[in-house]
Chain A
C-alpha cells in the first residue's frame, strides 16, 4: 500500500463525514475498551491460577457490559467537604483528552480522522492534559490518600514525559515527518528493529505515564487503596476506569504505529493487523502487571532521571549520527548494530546506577 492509493483527504471536507467518523471512532474506542477490560481480567485470571469473569455470557464476555450497567445504577457520592464543582469536572477533564488521542491514530491506510502533519506532537500535548483531571480529582476529593496519589501522578508524568518524547524524536528523525500516517509509511522495516532502545524507553516511560504496573503507584491498591479516585463512585468512577484503559489502548495504538509498523503486514487485512498488534502490546502490559512488584516513588524518579533520560538522549544522538553518517545504507545493516548498542548501553547503565534505597534521616 503506497501513498498514491489513498484517497487524499478522506473522510472529506464535508462536516457530516467528520461527525460520523468521530462518532464511529468513539464507539470503536468504547467497544475496544470493553473488550480490553474483559481481556485483561480474563488473562490475569488465567495467569493467576484462577478463572476470571466467566458467568456473564460465553467466557464472560458480557462482564464489562454488566459492570457498565452496575456503575450507571450506582449512587454518586460527593465528599461533604470536597470541592463539588472540581469533583464533578475532573473525570471529564481526564476522559476527553484520552478520546481525542484517537483522532490521529491511523487504524489502517487512510482510516484516520485527521492526518495532522504534527500528529505525534498533538498526541504528546493532548495526553498530558489528562493529568490535570487526575490532579483535580485528587484535590477535590479532600482526602489525604487521593492527594498523595495525585501528587505522585503529577511527579511521574512530569518526569516521564521527557524520556518518552525524546525516544519519539528518534522515530521522527528516521521518518522526517510528525504525521502518524507518514510514520507508518516509512516503516519498511518496523522501527522496533531500527530503534530497539527507543522502543524500550518509550514503552517503559509510557507505562509510567499511564499508571500501569509496575509504576501504578498513583493508585497503589495495597498502600493508597485507590489513590486519586478513592472518593469516586458510580459513573464518575467508571469514567476514570475508562481513562485508565483508554490510555492503555492509546499507548498500545501509539506503540503499534511508531514501532511495530502500524497496520502494515502480510496476508491479513490491514485493520486486522492493527488490532492484532494493539492487542499484543496490551497483552504485554497485562503480563507485566501480573508479574512484577511495584516500585517506590523515589525509585520511580530515579528510573526516569538516571536511567531513561540519559539513555534516551544517547539514543537520540546515536540515531542522528547514524542518519548523518550512513544516509543511504540499508536499514537491515543497522539492525544488528542498534541491538548491540542497546545491549551495551543497558548493561553499562545498570552497572553504573542502582535504584536508590530512599531512607531519610528524621
Chain B
C-alpha cells in the first residue's frame, strides 16, 4: 500500500573519521569508517601521520649509530628492536657474541615482551570499556620492568642497550636480586588480572566471536605474533627459526582456536607466563664473562646483504640490511609486524558495530611508530 511506503524512513550511510587524534587509536592512526547507523559497512585505514623516514635516515649513519633509530620504531618494545637489528648486523659482518651477552639479551627481550604485552592487554581491556582499572594495574607491573631496564642502561623508554657484538655494559649487581624478585612475584600479578576479568560475562559477550581472523586469511596476509597464534597457527620465530640462544630454553607456544579478540587477549596472557619460564631458565644459566666482543667502533661489513628476524612482542620483526662495504647501510629495511597485521583490519571489522571497531583494533595491538616508521 502507498500509505505504508511513506512511513519507511530513508537512511543513508555516513562517514566518520576515527582519528588521527582519538583516545583509542593508540597513536595517530585514522580509520575512515562508513557507518550505517551503528554498523560498520566499510573501513579504510589511513596511516603515515608518524612517518619519520627512519629507513632513509639509517642510510646516513654508521651501523652502530642506527641502534638509537631502532629504539624509535616500536617504542613499547625497544629492546626487541635493538636485538633484531644487532642480529642483522652481526650476520652481515660475521661477528660473534659472548655467551653472557646472549643470556642478557634473552633476559631483556623476554622482559620487554612482558612489558609490551602488559600494555597491550591493558589497553585492550580499556578499549572494552573497563574504565582504566586493568591498564593501571598492568602499568604498575610494567613500571617494575622499566625500573629493571633503568638499572642496566639508565633509560626507561628508548634503551639503546644492545650493541653490535653484545650489550653496551654489564648488568649492575643490584639487577639480579631485583629480577629474581620480579620473576617470583609476577605470576601472582598475572593471576590477579585473571581473577579480575578472565571470565567476566560482559567481556566474554563483547570479545568472543568478535573480529574473527580466519586461519587461512591470517596466513595469507602473513600475519605474525599473537595475532597469528590466536588464529590457531603454531608459529613462533623463537621455535621455527631459533635465533640467539632460544634453542636452549624450554617453553610452549600458546595458541588460540577461534582467532577472535578474546583469543588474542588469552594468547598474550599465556605468553607472559611462558616468558617468565624463559626468564627463570635464563637467570639460572647466566654465565660469567665478557658482555661485548671486540668490535671496532666503525664497522665495514663486506658487501652483501643479510636478513635477521626475531619474535618481537608484536610479531615477526625483521631487519634487512644491504652493505656496499662502506660505513653506512646501503639499504635498511624493517619488516614491521604491526603494519602487516593491520592489513586484515577491514575484513575483520565489516558488519560489526562501532564499539567493536575499537575492540578489534585494540586487540591487534599496534604501535604507530612502527607502522609508519
Q: Would you call B129 and A213 a contact (CB within 8 A)?
A: yes
Q: Which of B35-43, B46-54, B150-158, B293-301 contacts A (4 or more CB under 8 A)?
A: B35-43
Query: Would you give 15 A-B contacts (Cβ < 8 Å), ordered by A?
Result: A48-B133, A49-B136, A50-B136, A148-B16, A148-B354, A223-B357, A291-B130, A292-B130, A293-B203, A294-B129, A294-B202, A294-B355, A297-B353, A359-B210, A361-B351
- Check if A293 sits within 8 Å of B129, measured CB to CB: yes
Instruction: State in angstroms the CA–CA spacing of A221 and B135 once bound together.
Output: 14
Which listed residue (B196, B351, B358) contacts A222, Cβ 8 A? B358
* Docked-complex contact B358 and A223, CB < 8 angstroms: yes
Q: Which 3 A-B pairs have the closest CB atoms?
A: A294-B129, A293-B128, A355-B205
With the chains together, A298 CA to B210 CA distance in Å?
Answer: 14
Residues of A within 8 A of B (CB): 44, 47-50, 144-145, 148, 213-214, 216-217, 220-225, 289-299, 354-355, 357-362
Cβ of B71 under 8 Å from chain A: no
- Cβ distance A199 to chain B, nearest Cβ, rounded Å: 20
B132 at the interface (CB under 8 A from A): yes
Q: Considering residues B36, B196, B354, which has the most beta carbons from chain A within 10 angstroms of its beta carbon?
A: B354
Of the candidates B24, B41, B203, which one forms a contact with A362 in the assembled complex, judged by CB atoms under 8 Å apart? B41
Q: Are B131 and A213 in contact (CB under 8 A)?
A: yes
Give B14's nearest chain A residue, CB to CB. A144
CB <8 Å contact, A293 and B197: yes
The complex places the Cα of A291 from the Cα of B201 at a distance, in Å, of: 12
Alpha-carbon distance between A358 and B40 when the two chains are bound, in angstroms: 12
- Asked if A357 contacts B209 (CB within 8 A), the reply is yes
Tell me if B355 and A49 are in contact (CB < 8 A).
no
Q: Are B133 and A360 in contact (CB under 8 A)?
A: no
Q: Is there an interface contact between A225 and B23, defined as CB atoms closer than 8 Å?
A: yes
Which B34-82 residues sit within 8 Å CB-CB of chain A?
36, 38-41
Q: Mark B228-254, 1 if CB is under 8 A from A, else 0.
A: 000000000000000000000000000
In the complex, the answer to whether B355 meets A297 with C-beta atoms within 8 Å is: yes
CB distance from A175 to the nearest CB of B (A): 34
Give the distance in Å from the alpha carbon of A290 to the alpha carbon of B130 in the complex.
Answer: 7
Q: Does A293 lie within 8 Å of B352, measured CB to CB?
A: no
Q: Does B323 contact A (CB under 8 A)?
A: no
Further pairs besides A221-B23, A292-B202: 14, Cβ < 8 Å: A48-B137, A49-B137, A148-B354, A222-B127, A222-B129, A222-B358, A290-B132, A291-B196, A293-B125, A293-B130, A293-B206, A296-B205, A297-B354, A362-B351
Contact B137 A358 (CB under 8 A): no
Q: Which residues on the A side are within 8 Å of B200 (C-beta)?
A: 292-293
B201 contacts which chain A residues (CB < 8 A)?
Answer: 355
Contact of B355 among A48, A50, A223, A361 (CB under 8 A): A223
Contact B136 A359 (CB under 8 A): no
Q: With the chains together, A271 CA to B40 CA distance in Å?
A: 51
Inter-subunit contact B133/A290 (CB<8 Å) = yes
Write out the residue numbers on chain B whose beta carbons fall within 8 Å of the beta carbon of A217. Answer: 129, 355
The smallest beta-carbon distance between B12 and chain A, in angstroms, is 13
Chain B residues whose C-beta falls within 8 Å of the C-beta of A216 in the assembled complex: 129
Q: Is the CB of A297 within 8 A of B130?
A: no
Is there contact, CB below 8 Å, between A220 and B133? no
Q: How many Å lie between the Cα of A361 and that of B36 in the bound state?
A: 12
Look across to chain B and name the residue whose beta carbon is closest to the beta carbon of A226. B23
Given A50-B136, A220-B355, A358-B352, residue A148 in contact with residue B131 (CB < 8 A): no
B16 smallest CB distance to A (angstroms): 5
**Chain B residues, Cβ within 8 Å of A293:** 125, 128-130, 197, 200, 202-203, 206
Given contacts A296-B353, A296-B356, A362-B36, contact A222 B23 (CB under 8 A): yes
B140 at the interface (CB under 8 A from A): yes
> What residues of chain A lie closer than 8 Å to B137, measured between beta carbons?
48-49
In the bound complex, do residue A222 and residue B126 qualify as a contact, i.e. CB atoms below 8 Å apart?
Answer: yes
Give B contacts to A, CB under 8 Å.
14, 16, 22-24, 36, 38-41, 125-133, 136-137, 140, 196-197, 200-203, 205-206, 209-210, 350-358
Q: How many Å from the CB of A164 to the closest CB on chain B?
A: 20
A295 touches B133 (CB 8 A): no
Are A145 and B352 in contact, with the CB atoms below 8 A? no
| CB neighbours of A289 from chain B (8 A) | 131
A223→B352 CA distance, assembly (Å): 14
Q: Which residues of chain A have C-beta atoms less than 8 A from B41's C-beta? A: 362
A294–B132 Cα distance when bound, in Å, is 12
B129 close to A214 (CB less than 8 A): yes
CB-CB nearest in chain B for A143: B16
A48-B132, A293-B128 known; A357 vs B202 contact (CB < 8 Å): no
| Chain B residues near A298 (CB-CB < 8 A) | 38, 353
Known: A48-B137, A216-B129, A294-B128. A359 touches B355 (CB 8 A): no
In Å, the complex CA distance between A83 and B137 comes to 43
Q: Which of A48, A223, A290 contacts B354 (CB 8 A)?
A: A223
Is A144 touching B38 in the complex (CB atoms < 8 A)? no
Residues of A within 8 A of B202 (CB): 214, 292-295, 299
Cβ contacts under 8 Å, A220 to chain B: 129, 355
Chain B residues with CB under 8 Å of A296's CB are 205-206, 353, 355-356
Residue of chain B at shortest CB distance from A290: B133
Task: Give chain B residues whose Cβ lies under 8 Å from the Cβ of A290.
Answer: 131-133
Query: How many whole Å from A159's CB to the nearest CB in chain B?
Result: 15
> Across the interface, which residues of B come within 8 angstroms of A361, CB to CB?
351
Inter-chain CA distance A290–B203, complex, in Å, is 14
> Most chain-B CB neighbours within 10 Å: which of A290, A293, A355?
A293
Shortest distance from the beta carbon of A221 to any chain B beta carbon, whole Å:
6
Query: B358, A295: Cβ atoms under 8 Å?
Result: no
A355 to B207, alpha carbons, bound, how many Å?
A: 12
Shortest B32–chain A CB gap in Å is 12
Contacts A290-B133, A362-B351 hold; do A223 and B205 have CB atoms under 8 A apart?
no
- Residue of A with least CB distance to B209: A357
- Chain A residues with Cβ under 8 A from B36's Cβ? 362
Within 8 Å CB of A357, what residues of B?
205, 209-210
Q: Are A221 and B131 in contact (CB under 8 A)?
A: yes
Contacts of A358 in B (CB 8 A): 352-353, 356
In the complex, A49 Cα to B140 Cα: how many Å?
A: 8
> What is the CB-to-nearest-CB distance from A252 to chain B, in angstroms, rounded to a whole number?
19
The answer to whether residues A47 and B133 also contact, given A293-B128, A295-B206, A354-B205 and a CB cut-off of 8 A, is yes
Contacts of A144 in B (CB 8 A): 14, 16
A291, A296, A299, A354: which has the most chain B beta carbons within 10 Å? A296
A44: chain B residues at CB < 8 Å are 131-132
- Chain A residues with CB below 8 A from B136, complex form: 48-50
Q: Looking across the interface, which residue of chain B has its beta carbon closest to that of A355?
A: B205
Give the residues in chain B near A50, CB-CB below 8 Å: 136
